């Protein structure tokens, strides 16, 4: 039998050497999957795992070698306790290249599925790089591919500034009864509730065949999540379109920054409320943020983002801006009970 041991990993009590060994494995696997992405420093990684919003209570496992000196694999079960999607949990399993095909991934998946089932989660979901060994792993245990997303990268040097300025000019003409408002970092209390209501519009983005309800964070949950990220050194720029006469928030676009990422930023949501669409607001808010990036942060060389391949309207804007395809990401789901049975069948457990 392969020599490994699996323990549940508690980030709040884990010894420093075990935490570092696990982080080293996470970094190695992240670099294998996304070599273009910056490495998350140990201190930031640790804080992000130990300082979670109150409604998030993930569980973690680590597979060790016999001497418990090297982390061979890890698993995470993301458990959120909100008003929606209580049937669903997202998970990830990773195994070091030299330790694969030894039953570690199956053993970790079995623990995750059992814990999910005990928590009442009837569906588990996870993501893989399209065409990777992760796809084979998911198929072997009965996951079904439910959606495919596209990671795209925009080389900032290739941005057509004149085109973006044209978007701004045309939108200002078509939507003269709107104005742009900049919100950096924390959403102010006086607009928190209307902004969160606007954020709920992100649920209109395609989800393909995912078994998933709308995500509807309360203003308190949204602010708590935001405060945790800001405390960890992250920053966000938001441009919001607001109707002049009514004050209604109509659309927004966001850019995220991490303190350890010197030359890359991440494009977050761009969304426009259905009652305010077809006025050029999406291009307007997105272009305004990109132009600010060019003017204020010349060290940034790339903007990364993700979209469902089925989200044709947003992909069209991104491709026009110059975003280039890096790779695809598959999203898989399976009934928790099926996964538990499949692991037992394959491992003889």
Per-residue model confidence as pLDDT tens digits over 329-340: 999 999 999 999
Q: Give me the residue spans of the domains in the chain.
A: 4-149+330-347, 160-321
Residue 176 confidence (pLDDT): 95
DSSP sequence for 232-247? TT-EEEEEEEEETTT-
Q: What pLDDT sits at residue 2?
A: 56
Each residue's pLDDT tens digit, 224-259: 999 999 999 999 999 999 999 999 999 999 999 999
**60 touches 74 (CB < 8 A):** yes
Q: What is the CA radius of gyration of the chain?
A: 22
CATH code: domain 160-321 is: 3.40.630.30
103, 2 in Cβ contact below 8 A?
A: yes
Burial of 174 (0-12, 13-18, 19+ CB in 10 A): middle
- For residue 325, pLDDT over 60 is answered with yes
Q: Which two structure tokens, joined as six digits, stand for 349? A: 């457990």
CA atoms of 71 and 74, how far apart (whole Å): 8
What is the average pLDDT score of the chain? 96
- What average pLDDT does this structure show over 203-217? 97
Higher pLDDT, 76 or 313: 76
Q: What mean pLDDT is predicted for residues 208-221? A: 98
Tens-digit pLDDT profile for residues 58-110:
999 999 999 888 999 999 999 999 999 999 999 999 999 999 999 999 999 99
Whole-angstrom distance, CA of residue 201 vs CA of residue 186: 19
- Do β-strands 88-95 and 123-129 pair in parallel, antiparallel, or remain unpaired? parallel
Q: How confident is the model at residue 1 (pLDDT cuts 50, 70, 90)?
A: very low
Separation of alpha carbons 296 and 13, rounded Å: 41
Asked if the model's pLDDT at residue 193 lies above 80, the reply is yes
Percentage of the chain modeled with pLDDT above 90: 96
Q: What is the DSSP letter of 40?
A: P
Instruction: Look up the CATH superfamily of 4-149+330-347.
Output: Gcn5-related N-acetyltransferase (GNAT) (3.40.630.30)
pLDDT at 68: 87
pTM (2 d.p.): 0.94
């Amino acid at each position: 039998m392969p020599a490994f041991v699996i323990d549940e990993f508690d980030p709040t009590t884990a010894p420093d050497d075990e935490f570092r060994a696990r982080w080293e494995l996470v970094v190695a696997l992240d670099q294998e999957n996304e070599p273009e992405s910056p490495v998350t420093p140990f201190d930031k990684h640790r804080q992000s795992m130990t300082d979670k919003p109150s409604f998030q209570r993930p569980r973690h496992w680590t597979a060790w070698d016999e001497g418990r000196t090297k982390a061979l694999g890890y698993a995470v079960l993301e458990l959120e306790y909100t008003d929606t999607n209580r049937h669903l949990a997202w998970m990830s399993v990773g195994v070091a290249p030299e330790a694969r095909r030894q039953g570690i991934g199956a053993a970790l998946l079995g623990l995750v599925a059992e814990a999910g089932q005990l928590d009442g989660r009837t569906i588990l979901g996870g993501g893989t790089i399209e065409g990777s060994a992760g796809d084979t792993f998911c198929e072997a245990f009965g996951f079904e591919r439910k959606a495919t997303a596209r990671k795209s990268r925009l080389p900032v040097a290739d941005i057509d500034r004149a085109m973006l300025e044209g978007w701004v000019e045309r939108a200002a003409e078509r939507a003269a009864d709107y104005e742009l408002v900049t919100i950096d970092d924390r959403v102010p209390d006086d607009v928190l509730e209307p902004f969160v209501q606007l954020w709920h519009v992100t649920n209109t983005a395609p989800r393909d065949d995912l078994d998933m309800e709308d995500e509807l964070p309360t203003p308190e949950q949204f602010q708590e999540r935001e405060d945790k990220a800001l405390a960890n050194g992250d920053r966000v720029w938001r441009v919001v379109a607001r109707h002049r006469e009514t004050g209604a928030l109509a659309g927004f676009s966001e850019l995220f920054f991490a303190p350890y990422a010197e030359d890359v930023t991440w494009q977050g949501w761009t969304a426009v409320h259905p009652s305010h669409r077809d006025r050029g607001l999406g291009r307007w808010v997105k272009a305004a943020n990109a132009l600010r990036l060019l003017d204020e942060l010349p060290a940034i060389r790339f903007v990364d983002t993700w979209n469902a391949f089925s989200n044709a309207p947003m992909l069209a804007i991104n491709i026009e801006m110059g975003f280039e395809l890096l790779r695809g990401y598959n999203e898989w789901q399976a009934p928790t009970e099926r996964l538990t049975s499949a692991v037992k069948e394959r491992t003889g457990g």
